[in-house]
Structure 1
């Protein structure tokens, strides 16, 4: 799996990882076994960045990820989780992080992110709490999710002893808003992590014109339009992605998408405002 630097950390991270949004509670044993099989398959294909969050399935996603990752040497994986931002005090943030670690069967996270900005709790307070977790050795790196550029700047300036490494945002060929901020992220050496990289229902509702462009590129490389959509994202400097899937075939297809690096003219063609 092709890997790129995360922020300016020197850490290499696969361009395509594995997301776990949608992993729910109160499901059958077979449902959870299928998730585990998919995660194991992804790891075997080099998709060693696994992203989860305490709110996914009310902690169940972290538990399932934990059952998978305990079977591997810790340093072979890059595990990220996200803080539910409605934590008002330093101790409650610390407790949430420790609970995530417990569910994940880990001593530390590679990356801990604030899931989305909270209008009641200041960005500075969240950053101070996460920075303390770095000092305690409970997370190696800090990130945010669903932040605007202005909010990212506030978070950056709030950190005193560590760097902000990523902003995780919804981004795809059908949701390009945050990708237009790439010049800022490249300048600051902050990686943009794209979630929901296949848009709504796996591109099933994509506009006709965009469908034609994707199909043209897909036919050239003998791949699917979904693979083109993933390749398009990770062909751009400073972008990685974390698609989620629940089938072995799809996780294999996702991994293969990393092999296709689109040239500049094809990247440009798939922008919504291209003619």
Structure 2
């Protein structure tokens, strides 16, 4: 299956389908120099999408991204950040956005997401999102960690159908979105941003990476198991993947995964080994 490099948003904007996530970056796990070099390696290779959030490191990840993109052509980048639910109302959203823009050293975001649902009414958040969009501070807005019922409720709000994307956890070992959320989003022209497409570190990730099926497919493509996990997510043209990596080698390995074309038989084997649920299940969050 050939990789489609972009997904088309409802306004015709082309969004890169493979980018760099920044969860846990800027928090001292690695040196700042190493993490900036990782992001720049991705940018130099051709990755244009960077996803971050005001929550990540209490703004530290956004500041790291701001340093990493210094000197690059902003018009060629696709920057995504997220607002805390408690900041997603009239009293705080614009202020939070402006703080994110300062840390990112840019005057606009390509995408601004509500990080998850909170106590602020959706109608109020939509109103605020549309206001900052009209003022040119963001090009598009979306949501994160929304399930099907949340999306239906959002689209019932005036202006709610302006939602451009929904970001949820999605990987080979967590396929709950496939039951009814992905079909609903596909019908409404809303791409999915898949966070943790390689799963988080731990027993689940080890189980996926050490699976005999995943390893066999990886060997056939002279790839790593992690690259196969990413290629599986990227098989769906309506899915955007934002794997996190704090090292240049990992970023470049992720970027190379776009060249892997899984066969129908390989997809069927992966599907059989890690089947999607045949009933509604709660969305996973990590």
Report the alpha carbon displacement of residue 67 of structure 1 after superposing the two structures with TM: 1.2
**1:206 alignment counterpart:** 207
Q: In 2, are the aligned partners of 1:165 and 1:191 still within 8 Å (CA)? A: yes
Report the alpha carbon displacement of residue 19 of structure 1 after superposing the two structures with TM: 0.3
**1:270 alignment counterpart:** 270
**1:152 alignment counterpart:** 151
**Is 1:191 matched with 2:191?**
yes
**2:280 alignment counterpart:** none
Segment drifting more, 154-163 vs 108-117: 154-163
The correspondence of residues 159-238 of structure 1 with structure 2, limited to 5 A, is: 159-160=158-159, 163-180=162-179, 181-201=181-201, 204-206=205-207, 211-238=211-238
Q: In 1, are the aligned partners of 2:26 and 2:35 still within 8 Å (CA)? A: no
Q: Which runs of 5+ in 2 are unaligned?
A: 277-286
**Is 1:23 matched with 2:22?**
no
Report the alpha carbon displacement of residue 41 of structure 1 after superposing the two structures with TM: 0.3
Query: Could you report, residue by residue, the CA deviation over 1:87-116 in whole angstroms, capped at 9, with x for unpaired residues?
Result: 264131111011101111111100000001
**1:261 alignment counterpart:** 261
Name the SS of the counterpart of 2:254 in structure 1: helix
**Is 1:99 matched with 2:99?**
yes
- How many correspondences in the alignment? 270
Structure 1 3/159 Cα, relative in aligned 2: closer, same or farther at 3 Å?
farther
Name the SS of the counterpart of 1:165 in structure 2: coil
TM-score (norm 2): 0.88
Query: Could you report, residue by residue, the CA deviation over 1:229-258 in whole angstroms, capped at 9, with x for unpaired residues?
Result: 000101112011000111111111100001
**2:283 alignment counterpart:** none
Name the SS of the counterpart of 2:251 in structure 1: helix
Equivalent of 1:7, from 1, 6, 9?
9
CA root-mean-square deviation: 2.1
Name the SS of the counterpart of 1:262 in structure 2: coil
Which structure has more relative contact order (CA 8 Å, sep 6+)? It is 2
Report the alpha carbon displacement of residue 161 of structure 1 after superposing the two structures with TM: 8.5
Report the alpha carbon displacement of residue 14 of structure 1 after superposing the two structures with TM: 2.5
Counterpart-to-counterpart distance in 2, 1:233 and 1:40: 24
Q: Which runs of 5+ in 1 are unaligned?
A: none
Query: Could you report, residue by residue, the CA deviation over 1:119-169 in whole angstroms, capped at 9, with x for unpaired residues?
Result: x22222211111111111110011100011111122233252872111111
**Is 1:124 matched with 2:126?**
no
Counterpart-to-counterpart distance in 1, 2:47 and 2:23: 16
Report the alpha carbon displacement of residue 12 of structure 1 after superposing the two structures with TM: 2.2
Q: In 1, are the aligned partners of 2:126 and 2:159 still within 8 Å (CA)? A: no
